Structure 1
Amino acid sequence: MLEKKPLNAGKGSVVVITAPSGAGKTTLAKKLLAEYDQLVFSVSATTRAPRANEVHGRDYHFLDRETFDQHIEQGDFLEWEEFYNGSRYGTLRSDVEHHIKNGYFVLFDVEVKGALNLKNVYGDACLSVFIKPPSTEVLESRLRSRGTESEETLRLRLDRAKMELQQAGHFDAIVVNDDFDLAYAAVKDLITQFTGCSY
């Protein structure tokens, strides 16, 4: 279930959880944040419209395209990307630096390309964990059960997921999410090793 690479225990400030859409990274991240005071969530900026129950500043910084473009021009993003549907997502440098300066470990829940970019920016100060679904069939089933995707969007997500799964080896650890409790325990163990904190 768990594949590890050596980590620099106690020296990190950034924890990145990444996965193809539907693999369970957001559920894992939310549980970690609810349980541990030392972790704070890196709120991404996006140009997409809010979904039901999403709150500006808590779930995302919802920005219009013009404001997002201004942040790009000013070099305010650690990383950003435009998706197939035209929506943009990015990580504001100022938010992350504020949390690190105040002694927190910053937890990212980002897509694979963004996670690779963050790993490049933070190097050894970053723990990157790839959450892998047990199979592409399970991933498809999870995405379909959400009921939020058209058939075309679902196909695009699955095609993207297949490419993202090929990137798993670039991360510090791979955790297969075939049993949520076991996957969560594995991620907790990795974070404990990395941060030097026993949670």
Structure 2
Amino acid sequence: MTMPTDAKVSTSGGRRGLLIILSSPSGAGKSTLARRLMDWDPTLRFSVSATTRAPRPGEVDGQDYRFLTEPAFKKLVADGAMLEHAHVFGNFYGSPMAPVQEAIEAGRDVLFDIDWQGAQQIRNSVLGRHTLSVFILPPSIPELRRRLVSRGQDGPEVIAKRMQKSWDEISHWDGYDYVLVNDDLDATFERLRTIVTAERLRRPQQPGLAAHVRRLHEEFEEGTTA
């Protein structure tokens, strides 16, 4: 897929990157939309999470996860070096701040696939002002169940658990900047692309604006005194 011109509002203009958070109940289409975003703009990168669990066969440290010992993970949390973190099924997971901060200062956007709790932590972090959060809703609960079944990835028990969890996730929809109902994948992606393009132009994302306004002011003063 060719990246359109409007995706290239990038480092040439000195912009800061965005922390793009996508959340949804399982089956609402979040992963597909994330892949489409990355096809649209290949400079987008997923945030590589840190975890204390052991690597699974084929997983590469620094690519799939950053694999840390529990003491090392807890030290990062204590030092305020994690954007968000959680304890899940006996292991810790989190998003280290340093690589994300380096990326956004270089004008590169970072994509996060996290739940509402992680999204809230990032919004409340020191990088919160550079965050764009989008929640994806299904068109209906029957359609959500149909999508989970049609994927063919989970058995009836797992699907039932995912459906039970979905309502808790949906109940936090109002904590996001934007909410999209994914009733048509192509149309939803176009709306998401429009949102990302516009958010890249927000004032906090353009650090060179203040200097430009100062130059305009100086030119104005020079013109009035000439």
State the TM-score bracket (shorter-chain normalisation): 0.7 to 0.9
Query: Distance between the aligned counterparts of 1:22 and 1:57, measured in 2?
Result: 27
Instruction: State yes or no: 1:138 paired with 2:139.
Output: no
- Correspondent of 2:114 among 110, 114, 134: 110
The answer for unaligned runs of 5 or more in structure 1 is 1-9
Name the counterpart of 1:188. 193
Q: Contact 1:12 / 1:195 at 8 angstroms: preserved in 2? A: yes
Which gives a bigger RCO, structure 1 or 2 (Cα 8 Å, sep 6+)?
A: 1
Normalized against structure 2, the TM-score is what?
A: 0.69
Instruction: State yes or no: 1:157 paired with 2:156.
Output: no
The structure whose Rg is larger is: 2
Higher mean displacement: 86-95 or 109-118? 86-95
Q: Which has more helix, going by share of residues?
A: 2
Q: Contact 2:18 / 2:108 at 8 angstroms: preserved in 1? A: yes
Cα distance, 1:56–1:132 mapped onto 2, change above 3 Å: farther
Q: Contact 1:17 / 1:107 at 8 angstroms: preserved in 2? A: yes
The answer for unaligned runs of 5 or more in structure 2 is 1-14, 203-226
C-alpha displacement of 1:12: 6.2
Instruction: State yes or no: 1:99 paired with 2:103.
Output: yes
Cα distance, 1:65–1:144 mapped onto 2, change above 3 Å: farther
Normalized against structure 1, the TM-score is what?
A: 0.77
C-alpha displacement of 1:20: 1.5
Name the counterpart of 1:43. 48
Percentage of matched positions with identical amino acids: 39
C-alpha displacement of 1:81: 1.5
Instruction: State yes or no: 1:34 paired with 2:34.
Output: no
Query: Distance between the aligned counterparts of 2:109 and 2:163, measured in 1?
Result: 31
Q: CA RMSD in A?
A: 2.8
- String of CA shifts for 1:117-144, please: whole Å, max 9, x gaps: 2122234321111011112222223333
SS at match of 2:25: coil
- String of CA shifts for 1:1-25, please: whole Å, max 9, x gaps: xxxxxxxxx7762221111222221
Query: Distance between the aligned counterparts of 2:184 and 2:61, measured in 1?
Result: 31
SS at match of 2:124: helix
For these two proteins, the number of residue pairs brought into alignment is: 187
Query: Distance between the aligned counterparts of 1:52 and 1:186, measured in 2?
Result: 38
Letter in 2 for 1:102: A
C-alpha displacement of 1:35: 2.1
Query: Distance between the aligned counterparts of 1:38 and 1:51, measured in 2?
Result: 27
Q: Contact 1:11 / 1:194 at 8 angstroms: preserved in 2? A: no
C-alpha displacement of 1:63: 4.5
Letter in 1 for 2:186: D
Q: Contact 2:28 / 2:138 at 8 angstroms: preserved in 1? A: yes
Q: Which has more strand, going by share of residues?
A: 1
Query: Distance between the aligned counterparts of 1:70 and 1:150, measured in 2?
Result: 38
SS at match of 1:75: coil
